[in-house]
Chains A and B, each alone.
Chain A
Amino acid sequence: RWWQNRRARLLCMLALTFLFFVVEVVVSRVTSSLAMLSDSFHMLSDVMALVVALVAVRFAQRTRATKKNTFGWVRAEVMGALVNAVFLTALCFTILLEAIERFTEPHEIQQPLVVIGVGVAGLVINLLGLCLFNHHGVGGHGHSHGHGHSHSGRQHPRSGPKPEQQPGDGEAALHREETSTLVENCSSSNGVGQEKLGKPCDMKDDMADLQVNGNAGHYPLDVEEVEEDSSAQLNMRGVFLHVFGDALGSVIVVVNALLFYGLWNPCPKDRPCFNPCVNNHCMENATLSQTLGRANGSEAESVPVAGPCWLLYLDPVLCLIMVCILLYTTYPLLRESALILLQTVPKQIDVHSLNSKLRTLEGVEAVHELHIWQLAGSRIIGTAHIKCPDPSTYMMVAKRIKEIFHDEGIHATTIQPEFASVGSESGRGKCEFPCRTQCALKQCCGTVEDNTAKKTEKSSSLSISCSEVVIDFPKARRTKSESIPSVKLAANTDQNEQFESSL
């Protein structure tokens, strides 16, 4: 079912929209209607939004770490969503400007019939697009929240055919920049599937599969399924909003043209006509001719007056309403994608409670540098420094720590254990690493852990949070390695030298 593939949908809509744009341009040349030409460029902006979304989707499918991006490109979709949302806001702004201009200088619609025809066609295409992008979550695979339910797709052996993944020329170029990759073969097609237990994994088979140039490790079906998560949804929402805005625009155009066609009394070209809606200097002539006409009396009918003026103001008013609707619907998307890009904590996670849960574990003395952020979608990443009295305590507690994180939905964690020295019980020893005060400005958070909002970056006190005091096991260290003391002495500050000598 090709239509569940996001890329296919985007491409299809892209083709349709571009085609329609071309048609509109041609029609506008034929009928020499400037309004239609300018309207056709709205379709072009749609095309651009689709292109942005498509590029984002292409990027985001490369989930592997590369030399340029150690996280893979999964975040591309969030960025695509942000770009589309900002783009839409800019378009709303220009529409607003146009509407204000129309208020001051109302235009009539020339050839309303043609406009109606093209408007309806555009509306149909936009409605089709809305349908395409509204149901992106629905489909055979639906949401798999990573607990690897064995979908039918995932159990395909890796050497099996991959229908959806056409390794185009682009793919090979993509992989060229990736470093040498090692695929862990046993977990290949079985996240939590049934077949992994005890099955001797056949490395040679998978090595044959691994082509260094190509689709190595590209799990097309897996990737396609699992990724209908929130980042993909964000991207599709951006496109959806664009198409929605365009549809609204088409609706306005059609409504306006219909009303115009029905109600407007145009000025016939061959007779002097009074157009009260347009303020121009011809009004005096018009009134003059009107009085003349009345004076003559021969023409029974008065000089025709161009139709109800409020019709001319309908267009800008409707445009204003449309802008309000669009901004109202775009703002949540903008906010959400911006929050992800700002590395904020995802809203379902409460850092305070997580912190307290970690602290109350026995064996954990302190927790600092706790950072939680969302990479994209359901991939949440956490890092923390855990202070324990000694390594064996840490071993006992490590699994519990990971479980706590797991329960919150944070699965990619990096826990750095720190061990208190015998001498320093305050828990915050001096950092004996090269990153001292001079690096304080360049550390992500070079402040004391309690969230006092001082400008402590600029303070010169040694409040560096990378407080790992490596003073324990002095005997073991000295017997183990010969080079360590010399290294430490060379790089220590004076304070740490005192520590060493006291031991």
Chain B
Amino acid sequence: MGRYSGKTCRLIFMLVLTAGFFVAELVSGYLGNSIALVSDSFNMLSDLISLCVGLSTGRIARRSRRGPRATYGYSRAEAVGALSNAVFLTALCFTICVEAILRLARPEPIDDAQLVLVVGTLGLAVNLVGLLVDVFSVCRTYTQHSVSSLNAGDSPNDQKSPEAGSEKKKEKKSEALNIRGVLLHVMGDALGSVVVVIAATIFHVLPLGNAPCNWQCYIDPSLTIIMVFIILSSAFPLIKETSVILLQMVPKGVNMQLLTDRLARVPGVSSLHEVHVWELAGGKNIATLHVKCQTSADYQDAAYQIRKVFHEAGIHSVTIQPEYIDNKTSLLLCSSPCISKACDSQLCCSQRETSLAKTNGYAEKNDGSHLGPHKDNSSSKNDIEIPIEYPLSEDGIKKVKNHDASDGKSQLSSTRL
């Protein structure tokens, strides 16, 4: 789309500008012996890195969609890049903090106050330019996105208006969060430049000359420490956000408890296990689960409903593995984990512990007899050791351990057996 070329142009311009100023600030900071300027230059470096990350991940994501090396594409590159950037910035802040503490122990004056002042002011100007550019672009993407979503979703909207409406509200909220995040970030940057300007002004107005250090020398390091905290306060939320994605956590806004409850209530589903929900990147949620059904027809009926439940939860890529009930396996265990139990340690989640597995208490379709042809895939093979179980005690466990199941559910399941 045309938007890409404009955005890339803007990005490259910002990139060059930021790189130049990073070098200028760094050199001036060392020459003028001002730690605040050096820390501001590190801030700019981090901005530079995030710009590079944005550019390169955009390019990577566009170029190699889904190759043999990455079946999901590289859309996660942005998260990894953001995490690396945040950690890099934190490490740099750590070293700046150390230097500031050393400066407090042994204060030194700013040598060349004019240079520092000039460069600091220019840096502030660059930050403000960046702020304007960013806000501009975010506003533009926001309006474009809302327009496009209106276009794409008009016909099904009539039927699904409540859901679509709530989704659009969520989009608006996330866009607002985006803008706020960007604003906060740039304000933090600007604050850093302001600190530099303050420190340099003091030295410019009240030059120290050759006199020993007085209170003036303590301003630079102390303001720097304050600045470090400001920078860190913008880095840590970023780390937390990307950790959610990278650690395969359940995305925010998805309530696993509610979701599994709803799924268990879908007619035709006897039980479900191995429910996994995770976020690939940028709002794309993926889920996989195994459902146990009595018959193939049950499964096909249920599959649609299951996807609907997921859709309402905001998860649109779902892979469902049907398993058919046989009385040899517990309802909550996977009938076909892998071809042998030896692989247990390499399963994503050990089969020995089944958490988040649920039985369907409303088992109106379950009638004790299980249909012959729809046997479980793996049960007939000898290399799988299906544990022998005692049905009664299994219910006992359900009663005791399954806190979430209401008493009614456990009653029903016992009648089934």
A positions within 8 Å CB-CB of B: 34, 37-38, 41, 44-45, 48, 63-73, 75-76, 79, 82-83, 86-87, 89-91, 93-94, 97, 101, 104, 144-148, 178-188, 191-192, 196-198, 200-201, 203-204, 207, 210, 212, 217, 219, 222, 226, 338, 341-345, 350-352, 369-373, 375, 378-381, 383-385, 391-392, 395, 398-399, 402-403, 405-406, 409, 411-417, 419, 432-439, 442-445, 447, 451-453, 455, 458, 460, 466, 468, 470, 472-473, 476-477, 480-481, 483-484, 487-488, 490-491, 493
Contacts and interface: CB of A to CB of B under 8 A. Distances in A.
Contact of B344 (A187, A385, A419, A477): A187
Given A38-B98, A414-B289, A63 B349 contact: yes
A86 B92 CA distance: 11
Contact of B91 (A86, A345, A380, A433): A86
B152 interface: yes
Nearest to A92: B91
Interface stretch (B7-15, B114-122, B196-204, B381-389): B381-389
Given A148-B342, A371-B71, A196 B156 contact: no
Nearest to A78: B246
Contacts of A444: 72, 280, 284, 286, 317
Q: Top 3 closest A-B pairs, CB basis?
A: A186-B387, A90-B91, A146-B345
Q: Which of B64, B278, B312 has the most CB of A within 10 A?
A: B278
Contacts of A86: 83-84, 87-88, 91
Contacts of A212: 401
A453 B70 CA distance: 14
B19 to A, nearest CB: 15
28 contacts: A64-B350, A65-B356, A68-B256, A72-B349, A82-B84, A148-B345, A184-B351, A184-B354, A187-B387, A203-B393, A343-B76, A345-B69, A351-B69, A378-B345, A399-B339, A402-B338, A402-B339, A406-B338, A413-B321, A433-B304, A434-B307, A438-B153, A439-B311, A443-B317, A445-B66, A451-B65, A466-B307, A480-B297
B246 A345 contact: no
B98 A184 contact: no
B243 A79 contact: yes
B44 to A, nearest CB: 14
Given A67-B256, A180-B404, A468 B84 contact: no
Contacts of A403: 339
A345 B341 contact: no
A473 B397 contact: no
A69 B250 contact: yes
Contacts of A395: 373-375, 377
Interface in B15-67: 26, 30, 62-67
B137 interface: no
Nearest to B95: A94
Nearest to B73: A445
B343 A71 contact: no
Contacts of A411: 337-338, 343, 346-347
B377 A470 contact: no
Contacts of A184: 330, 332-333, 351-354, 387
Contacts of A437: 152-153
Contact of B94 (A48, A70, A398, A483): A48
Interface string B294-310: 00111011011101100
Given A89-B88, A182-B402, A184-B387, A351 B102 contact: no
Contacts of A37: 102, 105
B71 A372 contact: yes
Nearest to A390: B296
Nearest to B324: A395
B248 A179 contact: no
A443 B162 CA distance: 20
Given A180-B355, A434-B160, A470-B300, A412 B347 contact: yes
Contacts of B76: 341-343
Interface string B385-417: 101111001101110111110000000000000
B341 A466 contact: no
A201 to B, nearest CB: 6
B305 A412 contact: no
Nearest to A89: B88
B94 A343 contact: no
Nearest to A401: B377
B268 to A, nearest CB: 8
Given A180-B403, A187-B341, A476-B297, A82 B303 contact: no
A104 B322 CA distance: 70
Contacts of A488: 304
A192 B397 contact: no
Interface stretch (B124-132, B207-215, B269-277): B269-277
**Range of interface residues on chain B?**
35 or more
B340 A192 contact: yes
Contacts of A433: 304, 307-308, 311
B80 interface: yes
A448 to B, nearest CB: 11
B285 interface: yes
A65 B349 contact: yes
A151 to B, nearest CB: 12
Interface of B: 1, 26, 30, 62-74, 76-77, 79-80, 83-84, 87-88, 90-92, 94-95, 98-99, 102, 105-106, 149, 152-153, 156, 159-160, 164, 243, 246-250, 256-257, 267-268, 274-278, 280, 283-286, 288-290, 296-298, 300-301, 303-305, 307-308, 311-312, 314, 316-322, 330, 332-333, 336-357, 373-375, 377-378, 381, 385, 387-390, 393-394, 396-398, 400-404
A378 B336 contact: no
A45 B91 CA distance: 9
A435 B354 contact: no
Contacts of A370: 71
Contacts of A94: 91-92, 95
Contacts of B159: 490-491
B354 A181 contact: yes
A351 B153 contact: no
A148 B350 CA distance: 13
A21 B144 CA distance: 55
Contact of A380 (B64, B79, B341, B346): B346
Contacts of A385: 319
A210 B355 contact: no
Given A86-B84, A178-B355, A435-B311, 19 more contacts: A37-B102, A64-B349, A64-B353, A66-B355, A68-B249, A70-B256, A75-B248, A186-B387, A192-B341, A203-B397, A212-B401, A338-B80, A342-B70, A343-B72, A372-B71, A399-B381, A453-B62, A453-B64, A470-B300
A91 B296 CA distance: 59
Contact of B296 (A83, A391, A398, A455): A391
Contact of A414 (B274, B307, B378, B389): B274
Nearest to A382: B71
Contact of A473 (B300, B311, B320, B381): B300
A147 B297 CA distance: 36
A371 B72 contact: yes
Given A184-B353, A468-B303, A91 B342 contact: no
B338 A187 contact: no
Contacts of A417: 322
Nearest to A370: B71
A90 B250 CA distance: 30
Contacts of A48: 94
A356 to B, nearest CB: 12
B385 A197 contact: yes
Q: Which of B63, B280, B356, B402 has the most CB of A within 10 A?
A: B356
Contacts of A186: 387-389
A302 B276 CA distance: 82
B342 A182 contact: no
A432 B404 CA distance: 32
Nearest to A350: B68
B68 to A, nearest CB: 5
